[in-house]
Amino acid sequence: MSSDTNSKLSFATRSVHAGYDSTANEGSLNPPIYMTSTFTFDNVEQGAGRFAGEQQGHFYSRISNPTQEILETRLANLEEGEAALATASGMGAITATLWTLVAPGDQILVDETLYGCTFSFMEHGLKKFGVDICYADFTNHAEVQSKLTDQTKVVYFETPVNPNMRVIDIAAISALAKGYSDAIKVIVDNTYCTPALQRPLTMGADLVVHSATKYLGGHGDLIAGAVVGDAETIHQIRLFGLKDMTGAVIAPITVFLILRGIKTLQLRMERHCQNAQAIAEMLEQHPAVDQVFFPGLKNDPWHNVAAKQMDDFGGMIALELKGGYKAGVRMLNKLKLAKLAVSLGDAETLIQHPASMTHSVYTVEERAEHGISEGLVRISAGLEAVGDIIADLEQALAD
């Protein structure tokens, strides 16, 4: 199967095959890694044609590379978009995308809670250049509606939200934005779900961004990102946000590792989801736990919207202990199997404290305003036998 979006094939099959044709590559089962910075031209006319975008073909690896192209075709296929751009990091994808889409005087309407560095880029980066960042609680649709203005160019959110696990209705927010103006670009950070669980482009979003460092790579051995959407916008992001603004180019060897990771994406997501569900159900019953935030729990406030738009409830959990921050520190320091680390989506169960780690760029006041509590603990359920993870958590929670 080559680069076509063959919708008759299932997700698992496309995860293994889409975008790669072994017969065009000496029969090599796995894709070649083109370690080259530049590409030779047959003559001056061909080189000039490629630079002008009038002729197909690669010319410099800051813009494109054949190995990268395989990953981009596969991601576009899985997200059901026209095109994709792979980048050196999730932040590379987010920054390349937003630098391309906004100018001074424009407004970005964002959910009140964002991954720490995305918040920092908006608040400390784009604002400095005259872009207005407007926050709203995206679970409150009337509030979103009231904050759309003629300056709004982008509507941006994560779902489930890192780290507090709110779930935002992608179809409803996209409809609100498009109802106000067709020109508004709706961007969803799909890192927590991956297309194995949720495909925002089929629900009205324009662009999807990813930290491929997480579930897509899946093994905690690389940093990468991607943006997926319509071919014209992706082309603009490649030629401006990537080529001129960030230079956040993905290395071909990293592409190879992500393609390898994606082959098992659906299998891994199934196990991450099963493990997270069992862990969340244990935590919900535990006397030391005050609250568990996981949309797979029947009485989670976001259970219904998650059930509507996600194929399963994901591998991420947040919790609040009865003893607050102090109890959280005690628990984290007692873990034996689960690793104390930021990042997520790896084979290993990872646990961290957002207020002092992933979301520490927010000030204490900002965290309070943006819905991130000081005692929150975040768990990325790994692929270990769930009984072993639960036993570790129970011993860490014991008096």
Q: Which residues bind ligand 3LM (CB under 6 A)?
A: 89-91, 115, 117-118, 158, 162, 189, 191, 211, 213, 223, 225, 342-344, 358
Nearest approach, Cβ of 106 to ligand 3LM (angstroms)?
A: 21
Active-site entry in 189, 206, 346, 392: 189
Q: Residue 180 catalytic?
A: no
Q: Residue 192 catalytic?
A: no
Active-site entry in 62, 178, 263, 339: 62
Nearest approach, Cβ of 167 to ligand 3LM (angstroms)?
A: 14
Using the minimum distance from each CB to ligand 3LM, give the nearer residue, 100 or 246: 246
Q: Residue 392 catalytic?
A: no
Nearest approach, Cβ of 141 to ligand 3LM (angstroms)?
A: 22
Active-site entry in 153, 214, 271, 367: 214
Active-site entry in 14, 50, 74, 115: 115
- Contact (Cβ atoms closer than 8 angstroms) between residue 313 and residue 295: yes
- Contact (Cβ atoms closer than 8 angstroms) between residue 281 and residue 393: no
Alpha-carbon 81 to chain mean position: 15
Q: Nearest-CB residue to ligand 3LM?
A: 90
Nearest approach, Cβ of 1 to ligand 3LM (angstroms)?
A: 28
Q: Which of 103, 122, 104, 198 is nearest to 370 (CA)?
A: 122
Distance of alpha carbon 325 from alpha carbon 354, whole angstroms: 11
**What proportions of the chain, in percent to the nearest 5, are helix, strand and coil?**
40, 15, 45
Nearest approach, Cβ of 115 to ligand 3LM (angstroms)?
A: 4
- Contact (Cβ atoms closer than 8 angstroms) between residue 250 and residue 224: yes
Using the minimum distance from each CB to ligand 3LM, give the nearer residue, 100 or 213: 213
Q: How far is CA 136 from CA 10, 111, 124, 208, in A?
A: 37, 5, 18, 20
Q: How far is CA 133 from CA 44, 103, 109, 261, 322, in A?
A: 46, 12, 6, 35, 35
Phi, psi of 38 (to 5 degrees): -130, 170
Paired with 318 in beta bridges are 293, 378
Q: Residue 214 catalytic?
A: yes
Question: Hey, which residues are catalytic here?
Answer: 62, 115, 189, 214
